[in-house]
Structure formats: structure tokens, C-alpha cells
Chains A and B, each alone.
Chain A
């Protein structure tokens, strides 16, 4: 073997191993300042959006072993930002989130399925205002060096969680479907 062929072989092996080396990491250090939990809905046919300012995400994800992943989210519902002060105080109230009685919305993954490529399917119970529903969120995982970004969305029906009761129960003004979008960034230990 010539020197050249050995070095080519070594280079080839190194390149071949590179993805394995980065993917061996388990991402578990959530970077809160980089992460967002947002929502979108229709009001009188108008697309509206907002987000939650305070939440706690815990996760442990190894791309090599997605089935072993652990994900849990605690959202402080009173930290909602609808873009309108009047709206924020309204939805923290009894008819909507009833933040005094149910300060947190929670989610924990019961299963994480690999769909191929960087796509996964996260399923688990979502509890808002004391009501629990199973949700499934298609999630894209983008690994960049030592960090991974988890992006996904799912749609809930607000009536399933009694979000918006009484005069708000009708969907004529605020639609039933609420899209929840998350972007969670986590670093490897």
C-alpha cells in the first residue's frame, strides 16, 4: 500500500465515522432562551398568533436511540402573550385557562417514533385545565454540532380542554382549532 492509498483510506474512514460521532450524543441540556412555545388560531377569519413566555422543558434525546427519548413540558399558562394586554388578562381568567386553579399545562411523551431522516413522531398526554388528551406531534430534529433543535406542531381543539367557556364557547369568533408550535433547542452534555 502506498502512503497515498493509506491516507485516502484513513480520510474515508474519518468522514464515514463523522456522522456517527456527532449522533452518538444525547441532547439533554435545554436552552430556554432559544426555545419557544407558540400558538396560532383564527379569530373572525383572521390568523392570530401568540406565545408563552414561561415554560420548563426537559428532554433527553439520542438520535441513535429515539425510542428511549424522554420529553416533558410544563407551561406556565399565565405567562401567555397574545399581543394584547386585554387579551392576556382575559385568557388567564376562569373562562379560558383558569390560571389560578390550573397554573400549568403539561405534556410528557409516552412514545417517540423515528419516521426516517430527521423526522420523528412524538405522542403523549397533554393536560390543560385539568383535562387530558393524547396528542401526536410530527417533529423535525436538526442537529448542528453540539446542539439539536426540535421543531414541531400539532393542532388541538380548545373545546376538548374547556378553553373558552360560556360566551366564548361558540366558535364564531374564536375558532376551535388551535395550532401549537414548538421550537426546543437542547445541547449535548
Chain B
């Protein structure tokens, strides 16, 4: 079986944990009553978002310069195309979700300052309406990402349990000889 490289596996699972964690954290913090803690959580969420964005950029650069193990020959051409499109969409959303958050912060007038030390440039001028619009965009993109991730996970499980191929296991850490 052709496994993914260790780097690819580490990047994949770091990203998975980061996205899931930040998604749940985002849902949690927005429902909190106004408090210093809430403002703190918003800052932490942004810092983590910046890190995930950089991780996504790094991951995409890494992926573009390498060839991943091929999809199993048992998959139809059509299914392979759908799989590639799904992966493309995942990468796109990994960039778009944090980027929309960055834009939203700029428009709302709360600059993103990594760790409270390193200010990121504001990409938009302060504008309340645009800020609200970007807030709903950030939410919609998150819903889209959650849906594509769910489809991604379902497909991996189908490969493992129904097709009984190595598509899931070759992305798992450690040795998983079948």
C-alpha cells in the first residue's frame, strides 16, 4: 500500500483537529453573554484562525509541490473527479474561512493583533454594514466547510468499510498493514 508521507499525515490531522476545535469554540463564544472573557475568547479565536490560515497556506504549498498517492483504480473516472473536486473545495474553504474572519475583523473595526503583539494589516476600512455582511459570510463559509468535511469523512469511511480499500488507512498515523 502507498501511504501518505508523515508530513502529509501530520498536516492533515493537525488541520482536522484545528478546524473542529475552532469551529466548536466559535459556536460557543458567540453565545456567551458580554464579558471580559468573551472579548478574550474572540481574540484567542482570531489568533488560532491566523495560525490555521498559515498552516493551510503551508499545507497547500506542500501539496502543490508533491504528488499524493493515487486514488484506487477501482474508482470510476467520475468518482475520482468528484474526489478531486471535494479536496479542492476543502483547501479553498480552509483559506476562505479564516480569511473571511480577518476581513470581518477589519470591517468591524477590531484589528487582528496576533497574540496581542503582532498587528495584521486591516484589509478593509471600518464599515458597520459590511462588517455584518462579512459576519454572515464567515458563518456561511463555516457551514459549507462543515458540510464538505462531513462528506469527506463519510467518503473515507465508505472506502474503508464498503469498498475495503486503503484510502482511509493510508492517512492514519502509524503502521496499518491490512
Contact = CB atoms under 8 A, between A and B. Distances in A.
Interface of A: 43-49, 83-84, 86-87, 90, 167-168, 170, 172-174
Given A44-B39, A46-B110, A48-B109, A83 B128 contact: yes
Given A43-B110, A44-B40, A174-B39, 10 more contacts: A44-B113, A45-B43, A46-B111, A46-B113, A49-B109, A86-B34, A87-B34, A167-B36, A168-B36, A172-B40
A167 B112 CA distance: 24
Interface of B: 34-36, 39-40, 43, 108-113, 115-117, 119, 126, 128
A24 B36 CA distance: 52
Interface SS of B by simple majority: loop
Contacts of B109: 48-49, 83
Contact of A46 (B35, B36, B116, B126): B116
Nearest to B131: A83
A59 B174 CA distance: 77
Nearest to B118: A45
26 contacts: A44-B39, A44-B40, A44-B43, A44-B113, A45-B115, A45-B117, A46-B110, A46-B111, A46-B112, A47-B111, A48-B109, A48-B110, A49-B109, A83-B108, A83-B126, A84-B108, A86-B34, A90-B34, A167-B35, A172-B36, A172-B40, A173-B36, A173-B39, A173-B40, A174-B36, A174-B39
A172 B112 CA distance: 17
A7 B113 CA distance: 64
A21 to B, nearest CB: 42
A81 to B, nearest CB: 10
A84 B64 CA distance: 41
A57 to B, nearest CB: 25
A43 B126 contact: no
A52 B47 CA distance: 30
B130 to A, nearest CB: 13
Contacts of B35: 167
Nearest to A164: B36
Nearest to B47: A44
A53 B21 CA distance: 40
A172 B44 CA distance: 13
From A44, A47, A87, name the one whose CB has the most chain B CB atoms within 10 angstroms: A44
A84 B35 CA distance: 14
Nearest to A45: B116
Residue with the highest number of chain A CB atoms closer than 10 Å, among B39, B108, B111, B128: B39
Contacts of B113: 44-46
Max chain B C-beta neighbours (<10 A), residue from A84, A90, A168, A170: A84
Nearest to B43: A44
A170 B37 CA distance: 11
A174 B109 CA distance: 16
